[in-house]
Amino acid sequence: MKEIGLEPMVNLNMRLGEGSGCPFAFFIIEASQKMMRDMGSFEDANIVNDFLIDIREEKAI
């Protein structure tokens, strides 16, 4: 990985071999996909967010 300039996705310092982190990485990827796909929104939960300020719309000072 050093020769091609990559860093491990997860580094747990377990030294169990090259393939030990792969199942763990797939679990993280699948869990994040499920969260993005199935996570509710404010509208789904009927949460009123009129009082919140969307900081993404503010201009940098």
Which residues form the catalytic set? 18
Start-to-end CA distance of the chain, whole Å, equals: 41
How many residues are present in the chain?
A: 61
26, 20 Cβ separation under 8 angstroms: no
